[in-house]
Amino acid sequence: MAVPIFAPVPADWPATEEHARAVQRELRGRVVLDEPGPPPGTGRVTGVDVAYDDERDVVVAAAVVLDAATLTVVEEATAAGPVAFPYVPGLLAFRELPAVLAALDSLAGDPGLVVCDGYGRAHPRRFGLASHLGVLTGLPALGVAKNPFTFSCADPPAARGSTSPLLDGGEVVGRALRTQDGVRPVFVSVGHRVDLETACAHTLRLAPRFRLPESTRHADALCRRALRAATLHQPRAPGHPPVPWGKPPEPGDGPGSTPEARERSQN
DNA sequence: GCGACAG
DNA sequence: ATCTTGTCGC
C-alpha cells in the first residue's frame, strides 16, 4: 500500500516552543463556540489520527469519513511527511497537524464533523489539537482523549452515557463520558463550531460497541497500516533499535490480535 | 525547584 | 505515541 501524499512541513511552521505557544495565543481568538454543531446521526463524520516512526522521522496521518447514520466508511485518505515538532504536552497540534491537514485535503468529499484524538478547549491555553484543526480548516471539530491529561473529574456513574464535568481548577473544559457500561470513560472537549452537549452526543453515537468512537478506531487502524507499509523496507538508523526475538507474527494470529482484544488492552 | 503531562 | 508476552472471551 503506497502512501500517496507527501506533506512537507510548512515553511512558516513554528520551530520553537515559545513560537508555538505564541501561535496558540493568537489563533485561539478565532475559535467559534456559539454554534450547536451538526445534529448527531446526520451527515458525515471524519476521524483523524497519526502514527509515528521517530526513528525514520516519519509521521503518517489517516482521515476516515463515515456516514453518521450508519457508521459506514465512505472514504479514506492518508498522508505522510516528516515529523513537524517534538512531543511537548500542550503543543501536540504542531506535531500532528501538517500530516492531518494533508490527509483531509486529499479527501474528495466534505469531511463534515472532524473527530480528533486528544483535546480541544481542554488545554492550558484553551487551544488544543481539535480547536487548532477547526480554526485552520473552518470545519466543526471535537476532541476525544483517552486520559484526563492535567484535568480532574469525578468518576461518572457506571452506566453507558453517564458523564461528569472535566475541570481545570473551577472551569469546566470538557466532560468525562462513559461510552460503555463499566468501561473507563473517554474525555470529550469542544474543538470548533460544536457545543459540548452535541460533542458528547456525537461521541456516544460513534461508540455503540467499543470504548472509542468508530471514527478514531478506523483512523487509528489505517494510519498504522499505512506507516507499516511505508516503512517496511526502509533501513533504520544504525545502532539504536533492539533486535527483537524470533520472527514477526503472521497475519491473523491467535487471540490478542482481534480489534476487541486491542481495544480492551488499551482500556 | 520538582513532578505531571493529549499523542 | 511506541515497545512488548501472555491471557481471556466471542
| A232 band by pLDDT with thresholds 50, 70 and 90 | confident
Detail the residues of A annotated as belonging to a binding site for Mg(2+).
49, 117
The reply to whether A253 Cβ lies less than 7 angstroms from strand C is no
| A14 band by pLDDT with thresholds 50, 70 and 90 | very high
Question: Contact A152/A177 with Cβ under 8 angstroms?
Answer: no
Q: Based on DSSP, count helices (H) and strands (E) in chain A, helices before strands.
A: 6, 8
Name the nt closest to A186 by C-alpha to C1'.
B6
Å: A263 CA to C5 C1': 17
Name the nt closest to A146 by C-alpha to C1'.
B6
The reply to whether A245 Cβ lies less than 7 angstroms from strand C is yes
Examine the pLDDT at A10 and tell me if it is beyond 50. Answer: yes
What is the per-residue pLDDT for A257?
44
What is the per-residue pLDDT for A230?
84
Total Cβ atoms within 10 A of residue A224: 15
Examine the pLDDT at A1 and tell me if it is beyond 70. Answer: no
Residue with grid cell 468529499, as numbered in its chain: A109
pLDDT tens digits, one per residue of A127-174: 999 999 999 999 999 999 999 999 999 999 999 999 999 999 999 999
Cell of A170: 473551577
The reply to whether A265 Cβ lies less than 7 angstroms from strand C is yes
The reply to whether A51 Cβ lies less than 7 angstroms from strand C is yes
Question: What's the rounded mean pLDDT across residues A46-58?
Answer: 95
Q: Where are the domains of chain A?
A: 35-233
Q: Is CATH 3.40.50.720 the right assignment for the domain spanning A35-233?
A: no
Number of alpha carbons in the 13 Å side-chain half-sphere of residue A216:
23
| A251 band by pLDDT with thresholds 50, 70 and 90 | very low
Examine the pLDDT at A254 and tell me if it is beyond 80. Answer: no
Strand order of the sheet with strand A44-53?
A: A73-81, A58-67, A44-53, A113-117, A141-145, A186-192, A171-177, A163-168
| A233 band by pLDDT with thresholds 50, 70 and 90 | confident
Taking alpha carbons only, the member of A222, A220, A208 closest to residue A40 is: A208
Question: Contact A87/A96 with Cβ under 8 angstroms?
Answer: no
Q: Which of helix, strand or coil describes residue A179? A: coil
**Percentage with pLDDT > 70 across chain A:** 85
What is the per-residue pLDDT for A4?
59
The reply to whether A52 Cβ lies less than 7 angstroms from strand B is yes
Residue at A238: amino acid letter: P
In chain A, residues 99 through 138 whose Cβ sits under 7 angstroms from any atom of nucleic acid strand B: 117-119, 123, 128-129
What is the per-residue pLDDT for A7?
78
